[in-house]
Every structure is written in structure tokens, then in C-alpha cells.
Amino acid sequence: MKILTLTLTLFLLTHSAVAQDAADALRSSMADKNFVTLERIDRDALQELCSKPRTAAIDPEAAASIRQAALESVPEPGNADYLGDWARGEAIASNGRGLQYSDNPDQANGGNCYACHQLDPDELAYGTLGPSLAGYGARGQSPAMLQYTWAKLWNTHAYNVCSHMPRFGAAGILTEQQLRDVMAFLFAPESPVNRNLTP
């Protein structure tokens, strides 16, 4: 029994030492450049929770509190104005630049939505990690729909704790105005996202 405990302790010690070595090697071999900073090596509570192996049990209380904190941190848009300009939103959704060390931080980021979603049904190139958003406007523009979509875009973890979608507002990827424009691209009846809905 003692030997088993000793072996287990040694195993755990070496394991955390290896993890520490790996973090130290990353830190000493990289330098901050533009958006890409060494801070990215440090995981926040959410990344810690969602980076566990698939077989590991996730503590439901920790998950619920992270989700709740994400939801509570979503600000309302100024003047409760959720919808901007769909054409500008279309350009943002199609633009994948930003957040790489080689990008100019003075230029606005894109949303890269097509990397994961179908939006305009006539666009041929899109990823399928996320669901199709073609015809999103059919959900209507009730306050609940606008609030849900705004919060989902601001901090996706408010609804799906280990979501793969970027936190566009919370992580400072898109500005409030850019988010309003992307919202209009999703909701406006005249937006190409909804072209199949108009007779």
C-alpha cells in the first residue's frame, strides 16, 4: 500500500513538473508581438474547465457558475440599439483577418463567421463546425431573440459553457458597432442571409 502511494505521488509530481517545464519552455522561447502575448499561455477558469480530457467529469456547479458569470457580464448595446448596417456586417462576417502576430493591431478585426457557419445561402465557401445561419431572420426580431443573439455573439459561453465560438465582445475581437452590424446581417429582411425568405 505504501509503495503504491509513493509511486502515485511520484507520478503526480513528475507530471506536474513536466507541465511546468512545458510552460517554462513556451515562455522562454516566445515574445509578445502585437495581439499575441505570453498571457495567452495562462488559462482562465473557463479554459481550465473546458480543456479537460473528454473522459474527465466536469463539475456541474463550476460550469453553471462560469456560464452565469458570462451571461451577467454581457452589456446591453447603447440605446438598446441592436441592429446596425447589414452590408457592413456582411463585410465583417466575410473578413478573417485579425489577432495574428502579423496583423496590424490598428486595423479593425474581422468576425470570420464563414469559417464555421453558412450565412448567405449563395456563398459557396463556408465551414460547418457551427450550424447554418441561413434564414436566421425567420426567427423574428422580438426583444428575447435580439437579446439572445447579442449575448451569444458577445460571450458564447453564456449559453454553451464549452462553446467553440470566439467571444467576440468579451475578448475584444469586435467592437459594439461591428457587432450591431453583424446582428443586422443576421436579422435584416433585406440581408442576403435571408434571401431565401423573401418571396
Residues in the site for ligand HEC, rule: CB under 6 A?
93, 111-113, 115-117, 129-131, 133, 149, 152-153, 156, 160, 163-166, 168, 182
Return the number of the residue (71 or 165) whose C-beta is nearest ligand HEC.
Answer: 165
Closest approach of ligand HEC to the CB of residue 16, in Å:
31
Give me Rg for the CA atoms of the chain: 21
Distances in Å between the Cα of 190 and the Cα atoms of 54, 170, 196 are 42, 29, 10
CB of 184 to ligand HEC, least distance (A): 11
**CA dist., res. 34 & res. 55, Å (int):** 36
36/165 with CB nearer ligand HEC: 165
Q: How far is the CB of 80 from ligand HEC (least distance, A)?
A: 19
Nearer to ligand HEC by Cβ, of 66 and 133: the residue is 133
Q: How open is the CA angle 90-96-98, to the nearest 5 degrees?
A: 120
C-alpha cell at 40: 495567452
* Cell 452565469, residue located: 68
In the bound complex, what is the minimum distance in angstroms from residue 96's beta carbon to ligand HEC?
Answer: 8
How far is 96 from 1, CA to CA, in rounded Å?
A: 56
CA distance 66 to 157: 8
With respect to ligand HEC, which residue has the nearer C-beta, 27 or 164?
A: 164
Smaller CB distance to ligand HEC: residue 17 or 164? 164
SS3 176: helix
Set of cell numbers at residue 148: 439572445
Q: Find the shortest distance in angstroms from Cβ 95 to ligand HEC.
A: 10
